[in-house]
Amino acid sequence: MQALSDEQQMDRIEQRIDRLEVRIDGFEARVAGEFAAVRSEARADFRTLIGVLLAMFMTMILGFAGILIQGL
């Protein structure tokens, strides 16, 4: 009689572990999606920063060229 009870307990534990595995898999998928979104956002921010720096650099070059041209 005790062996049957142990079997039932093992089945219940296995079912709980299976449910936990499903939840963990779902969590991993969500985390992977969030990482992809954050990575994409970081890339966009980096490109914006590069664009701003390039515009500032070009402004400086054109400003110095204007100063040099006025001096001639």
Answer whether residue 58 shows pLDDT above 60: yes
Q: Indicate the domain borders of the chain.
A: 1-72
pLDDT at res. 2 = 59
- Render pLDDT for 21-55 as a digit per residue (tens, 0 to 9): 999 998 998 998 899 899 999 999 999 999 999 99
Tell me the C-alpha distance between 50 and 31, whole Å. Answer: 28
pLDDT at res. 18 = 92
pLDDT at res. 72 = 76
